[in-house]
A and B are shown apart, each in its own frame.
Chain A
Amino acid sequence: MTYFFQNVVNALQWGSFYALIALGYSMVYSILMLFNFAHGDIFMVGAYIGFGVATLLVAMSAGGAIVLPGWLILILTILISMFLTALLGMFVERVGYRPLRDAPRASAAITGLMIGIILETGNLWLLGARRVSFPSLIQTVTYDVGGVILTNKKIMIVLVALAFMLALHLFVRHSKWGMAMRAMAFDYVVVPLMGVSINTIARMTFAIGSALAAVAGILFSIAYPVLDPYMGIVFGWKAFVAAILGGRGSIMGAALAGFLLGFIEIFVAMAFPSTLRDLIAYSIIMVILVFRPHGFFGEPYSAKLRL
């Protein structure tokens, strides 16, 4: 039983990464009706930016320029990386997607895919094929709750992820921009009528999605402090599937599907050899899609989009 709960904890952490990345996919997909195949690599770049910022801050701290406690460095790292990755996202939107607004949607998917390859290769070129390790910013504290091992990092990761999801939810629900996004997901044409330009919304969508990917990247680096340029491929495609599983137009659906994917993977690995993880996870996803073609919360005729 404790073994089971231990895995629930692990799955929550694992699912947090998927959920945060899936949110970015889902936003672009719901609002702009595009597959942003570069998003997995934006997550990877976000993790590397986080690595750079954290290393720099740690070095400055050690050098005595300004002495910061680890938790403050972490918060700063997250905020700065979110900002920088958001800029990257906006750049990707500007270069790869805006020129293709009127082109077939598949063409935009191809530019996304190519931008992803460029990001990977660029990273390889800048840092080489070696893996880098993320500096340890906070001391790991272990709690034993009835045999289930919790660490402060795990708790923090899940809480931070949930906090950002909640913030996004509130933003989309209650802010003026969020309303415009929902309107755009509902119908492309009405947004200019509301006095908001499509470009602004598109840029913002990419910025928010990328910022969340950066959060995912840093949280991932805290849990698994070894980064490599191909981490975006492994995570990106899976998170993409999770985003679609959530259903078009449903951001919370994407988050839930992300957690579900985390649970599936952890529990499959619990019961079967770990080599079977992908096989079983994707088979389950396929079966789910067969019975719920529009995902968990997607509406077949996009009559009612829950954003």
Chain B
Amino acid sequence: MQTVSQIIPAADKPRRVARVFGHTPFLAWLLGAAAAVLLEHLLGETFAGLVGLSKVPVLFGLMILMSKPLLFPGALLYVAVIYLLPLLCVAGLLTRPANLVAAALLRFGPAFAVIVHLALFYGVLHFWADISGYRELTVKFTLIAVLLTLSLNLINGYMGEFSCSHPGFMALGAYGASTFTLTLFVNNPLFGKALLPGFLGPWLFPLGLVFGGLLASLGALLIAIPSFKTRGDYLAIISLAFLFIVKSLLENLPFLGGPRGMGGQPDYAGLPVVFAWTAMGVWIMNNYVRSTLGKSLNAIRDDEAAAEAMSVDTRHTKMTAFMFAAFWAGVAGGLFAHVMRFINPATFGVQRLAEMLAMVYFGGLNSVYGSIVGAVSLNLLGEALRPLELFKWIFIPLLLILVMIFRPTGLLAFREFDAVRLVRPLDRDSQGGAP
């Protein structure tokens, strides 16, 4: 009898946690994260010294775990005190007021509430990234990866085809946007003198990205015309051929730098710019896949004949979606070029393809959450495992094989992403107790 009474409280524990944090809205978590970031700014360096670290751990101590395991307990302590403690405390304490605020925000309209949350999220991210240049770079690449992963997920997940040309689209976008900015705003050896005054550059940069995206869409059209007449694995092959064609075309165009590539892109892609484009891309793509128009992609994937019989113009839909996905890959490429500030054709090869596919299938097919999780986790993992050098490329593939074996469609497949649901208050009175 005694054992039973001992077990009950233990089994109750998760429920107790759920009772404490079950009603904590997203807003409270954001405020908690803000508190953590603030604390890191104020005390980070001092505390790092206290626990025996030479500097603030850049990526939650993950890299330290790999490179200097002896320092890891210190890093762990750092993460617990600087991040977890304030996060949990503030989120827990602010649960009630945050729920009120979240409800108030929603009263101004769902769009307003989402934008406020997004702004707050950006603020947290910005100050977190502010600590070191390396952090900022990692965040930028991760955001770009989210864009790439989601756009590839449109084709491979939502539409159920297998496209291999995404690095090619990315390359078209990168070269398109770079050509745009280098020709217009920068004096450089490839394109000569700048045509427009430099101060216009950052303002016209979006045009350059859109130009790159449209270029990628145009490339997608070339593939789409023959591909979507026939069923089956046709797209996989023709998109693969396309990828190789783009790559070797770029290698053979001396005015674009040939195999040596082009560098010196102006520094237009700051964190706010990358974040804004990623947020916009996710928003637009999510809008698309949640509309009936976009859901037709799922119908095509699950049964194309039935989709046709239910009045879905399958060929048109497939072509549109493919070009749309390519557009975002192109935009991501343009951002990538201006973050790296150097590109060459070798950047956009089969290796990149393997990386993108890994992120899509790891995170989960047919899911915005999945794409975000896949891109973020594999990017952070990739950075964290960097000290392992070669073994990184054994570890990550093994991880992915395991995921494929146990969850063949990825970790968070087939989830619908609803930003308004995410930001709503979670207390009983405002939501009728729904979790």
Which residues of A are in contact with B by a Cβ distance under 8 Å?
Answer: 35, 95-96, 99-100, 103-104, 106-111, 113-115, 117-118, 120-122, 124-125, 233, 237, 240-241, 244-245, 248, 275-279, 282-283, 285-286, 289-290, 293-294, 300
CB of B236 within 8 Å of the partner chain: yes
Contacts of A122 in B (CB 8 A): 394
A106-B156, A289-B237 are contacts. A113–B405 as well, Cβ < 8 Å? no
CB of B137 within 8 Å of the partner chain: no
Beyond A275-B251, A275-B252, A293-B226, list 5 extra A-B contacts (CB 8 Å): A107-B404, A107-B408, A114-B354, A114-B404, A117-B397
Segment of B41-49, B116-124, B227-235, B308-316 in the binding face: B227-235
Contacts of A285 in B (CB 8 A): 241
Q: Is the beta-carbon distance between B233 and A282 smaller than 8 angstroms?
A: no
Q: Is the beta-carbon distance between B361 and A294 smaller than 8 angstroms?
A: no
CB of B244 within 8 Å of the partner chain: yes
A263 CB to nearest B CB, Å: 17
20 contacts between A and B (CB under 8 A): A35-B233, A95-B401, A96-B401, A100-B404, A103-B404, A110-B358, A111-B404, A113-B357, A113-B358, A114-B398, A117-B354, A237-B244, A241-B240, A244-B233, A275-B252, A278-B245, A278-B247, A282-B244, A289-B237, A294-B230
- Bound Cα distance from A121 to B393, whole angstroms: 6
Residue from B238, B397, B398 whose CB has the most chain A CB atoms within 10 Å: B397
CB of B322 within 8 Å of the partner chain: no
Contacts of B230 in A (CB 8 A): 293-294, 300
- Bound Cα distance from A245 to B236, whole angstroms: 12
Other-chain residue from B240, B259, B409 in contact with A107 (beta carbon distance below 8 A): B409
What does the 1/0 interface line of B232-273 toward A look like (CB < 8 Å)? 011011101110110111011000000100000000000000
Contacts of A35 in B (CB 8 A): 162, 233, 236
- Bound Cα distance from A125 to B395, whole angstroms: 13
Q: Is the beta-carbon distance between B400 and A278 smaller than 8 angstroms?
A: no
Q: Is the beta-carbon distance between A286 and B245 smaller than 8 angstroms?
A: yes
Other-chain residue from A99, A106, A108, A289 in contact with B234 (beta carbon distance below 8 A): A289
Q: Is the beta-carbon distance between A279 and B397 smaller than 8 angstroms?
A: no
B contacts with A, residue count (CB < 8 A): 39
Contacts of A233 in B (CB 8 A): 350
- Bound Cα distance from A204 to B415, whole angstroms: 39
A115-B401, A279-B252 are contacts. A110–B357 as well, Cβ < 8 Å? yes
- Bound Cα distance from A286 to B225, whole angstroms: 12
A35-B233, A117-B354 are contacts. A109–B241 as well, Cβ < 8 Å? no
Q: Is the beta-carbon distance between B408 and A104 smaller than 8 angstroms?
A: yes
Q: Is the beta-carbon distance between B241 and A118 smaller than 8 angstroms?
A: no
A103-B408, A122-B394, A293-B229 are contacts. A111–B248 as well, Cβ < 8 Å? no
Contacts of B247 in A (CB 8 A): 278
What does the 1/0 interface line of B269-283 toward A look like (CB < 8 Å)? 000000000000000
Contacts of A104 in B (CB 8 A): 365, 408-409
Q: Is the beta-carbon distance between A113 and B404 smaller than 8 angstroms?
A: no
What does the 1/0 interface line of B333-372 toward A look like (CB < 8 Å)? 0000000000000000010001001100100010000000
Q: Is the beta-carbon distance between A289 and B238 smaller than 8 angstroms?
A: yes
What does the 1/0 interface line of B388-402 toward A look like (CB < 8 Å)? 001101100110110
Other-chain residue from B233, B397, B408 in contact with A118 (beta carbon distance below 8 A): B397
Other-chain residue from A99, A276, A278 in contact with B244 (beta carbon distance below 8 A): A278
Chain B residues 130-162 with CB under 8 Å of chain A are: 156, 162
Other-chain residue from B229, B241, B252 in contact with A282 (beta carbon distance below 8 A): B241
- Bound Cα distance from A113 to B393, whole angstroms: 12
- Bound Cα distance from A276 to B240, whole angstroms: 17
Contacts of B233 in A (CB 8 A): 35, 244, 248
Instruction: Name the residue on A nearest B225 (C-beta).
Output: A290
Q: Is the beta-carbon distance between B245 and A282 smaller than 8 angstroms?
A: yes
Contacts of B248 in A (CB 8 A): 275-279, 282
- Bound Cα distance from A227 to B405, whole angstroms: 33
Other-chain residue from A114, A276, A286 in contact with B238 (beta carbon distance below 8 A): A286
Other-chain residue from B240, B241, B252, B400 in contact with A110 (beta carbon distance below 8 A): B400
Contacts of A99 in B (CB 8 A): 405
- Bound Cα distance from A283 to B394, whole angstroms: 34
Other-chain residue from A107, A289, A300 in contact with B361 (beta carbon distance below 8 A): A107
Contacts of A113 in B (CB 8 A): 354, 357-358
Contacts of B238 in A (CB 8 A): 286, 289-290
- Bound Cα distance from A241 to B245, whole angstroms: 13
Contacts of A244 in B (CB 8 A): 233, 237
Instruction: Name the residue on B nearest A273 (C-beta).
Output: B252
Q: Is the beta-carbon distance between A276 and B252 smaller than 8 angstroms?
A: yes
A202 CB to nearest B CB, Å: 16
B406 CB to nearest A CB, Å: 9
Instruction: Name the residue on B nearest A236 (C-beta).
Output: B350
- Bound Cα distance from A100 to B407, whole angstroms: 10
Contacts of A300 in B (CB 8 A): 230
Q: Is the beta-carbon distance between A124 and B390 smaller than 8 angstroms?
A: yes
- Bound Cα distance from A100 to B408, whole angstroms: 7
- Bound Cα distance from A115 to B404, whole angstroms: 12
B4 CB to nearest A CB, Å: 40
